[in-house]
Chain A
Amino acid sequence: MELLLLASAVWLGILTSVSPCPLATNIAAVSFISRRITQRNTVFLSGILYTLGRSLTYIVLGVLIVKTLVDVPILSDFLQRYVNKILGIVLILVGMVLLDLLRVPLSLPSVSENVAKKLIEKGAFGSLLLGILFALAFCPVSAALFFGGLIPLAVKAKSGIGLPLIYGIGTSLPVLLFASLVATGTSYINNLYHRITKVEFYTKKATGIIFILVGVYYALAYIFEII
Chain B
Amino acid sequence: MDIKKLLKGLLFIFVALSLGVLIYKEFSPKKEIKATNIVETRGEKTTVSVEPVPAPKSQHLKEPATKQKQESPAPLTEVKSQNSKVIAYYFHGTFRCTTCRTIEQYSHDAIQTYFAKELGDGRLEFRPVNIEEPGNKHFIQDYQLVTRSLVLSLMSDGKETKSKNLADVWKLVRDKDKFFQYVKDEVEKFLKET
Task: Check if A and B associate.
Answer: yes
Instruction: Give the CA-CA distance A20 to B93 in the complex, in Å.
Output: 17
The answer, yes or no, to whether B145 is at the interface (CB within 8 Å) is: yes
Residues of chain A having any CB pair with chain B under 8 Å: 19-21, 71-74, 76-77, 80-81, 84-85, 88-89, 92-93, 96, 99, 101-102, 139-141, 143-145, 147-149, 212, 216, 219, 221-225
Sort A-B residue pairs by CB-CB distance and give the 6 closest, nearest first: A147-B146, A143-B147, A76-B146, A144-B147, A101-B8, A144-B170
- Per the bound structure, the CA–CA distance linking A141 and B131 in Å amounts to 16
Residues of A within 8 A of B97 (CB): 20-21, 139-141
* Across-interface contacts of A92 in B (CB, < 8 A): 11, 14-15, 18
Q: A140-B93, A144-B146, A224-B18 known; A20 and B167 CB under 8 Å?
A: no
Nearest opposing residue in chain A for B98, CB measure: A20
**B99 within 8 Å of A (CB atoms):** yes
B140 partner, pick from A73, A88, A96, beta carbons under 8 A = A73
Q: Is B116 in contact with chain A by the CB < 8 A criterion?
A: no
Do B95 and A89 touch (CB < 8 A)?
A: no
Q: At the interface, yes or no: B161 with Cβ under 8 Å from chain A?
A: no
What is the CB-to-nearest-CB distance from B100 to chain A, in angstroms, rounded to a whole number? 5
What are 9 inter-chain pairs, A to B, with CB distance below 8 A? A71-B141, A73-B144, A92-B18, A93-B15, A101-B7, A101-B11, A102-B8, A140-B99, A224-B21
Q: B1-43, CB under 8 A of A: which get 1 and which 0? A: 0001001100100110011011001000000000000000000
Residue numbers in B under 8 Å from A99 (CB-CB): 7
Q: Does B85 contact A (CB under 8 A)?
A: no
- The reply to whether A216 and B14 contact each other, CB–CB distance below 8 Å, is yes
**Across-interface contacts of A222 in B (CB, < 8 A):** 95
Query: Which residues does chain A contribute within 8 Å of B144, judged by CB atoms?
Result: 72-73
Collect the chain A residues with CB atoms within 8 Å of residue B131's CB.
Answer: 77
Contact A84 B95 (CB under 8 A): yes
Q: How many inter-chain contacts with C-beta < 8 Å in the A-B complex?
A: 91
Which of chain A's residues have a CB closer than 8 A to the CB of B8? Answer: 96, 101-102
Nearest CB on A from B61, distance (A): 18
Contact check, B147 vs A148: say whether CB atoms are below 8 A apart.
yes
Determine whether the beta carbon of A76 is less than 8 Å from that of B14: no
A39 vs B21: C-alpha distance in the bound complex, in angstroms?
A: 41
CA distance A216 to B18 in the complex (A): 9
Give chain B residues whose Cβ lies under 8 Å from the Cβ of A143: 146-147
Q: Name A89's contact: one of B7, B15, B147, B148 (CB within 8 Å).
A: B15
Beta-carbon contact of A96 and B11 below 8 Å: yes
B146 x A72 contact (CB < 8 A): yes
Mark each residue of chain B from 94 to 116: 1 if its CB lies under 8 Å from any CB of chain A, else 0: 11011110000000000000000
Please give the distance in Å from B145's CB to the nearest CB on chain A.
Answer: 5
A76 and chain B: residue at smallest CB distance = B146
Pair A76/B15 contact, Cβ less than 8 Å:
no
Give complex CA distance A27, B146 in Å: 26
Q: Please, what's the 1-or-0 string for B134-162, where 1 marks a CB less than 8 Å from any CB in chain A?
A: 00000011001111100000000000000
* Inter-subunit contact B98/A148 (CB<8 Å): no
B63 contacts A by Cβ under 8 Å: no
Question: Is B132 an interface residue when CB atoms closer than 8 A count as contact?
Answer: yes
Question: How far does the Cβ of B141 sit from chain A's closest Cβ, in whole Å?
Answer: 6
- Tell me, in angstroms, the Cα distance from A140 to B94 when the chains sit together: 11
Decide yes or no: A225 and B95 within 8 Å by CB, A72-B146, A74-B140, A148-B167 being known contacts: yes
Please indicate the chain B residues that have their CB under 8 angstroms from the CB of A89 in the complex. 15, 18-19, 22
Name the A residues within 8 Å of B132 (CB-CB): 81
Chain B residues closer than 8 Å to A102, beta-carbon distance:
8
B100 partner residues in chain A, CB cutoff 8 A: 140-141
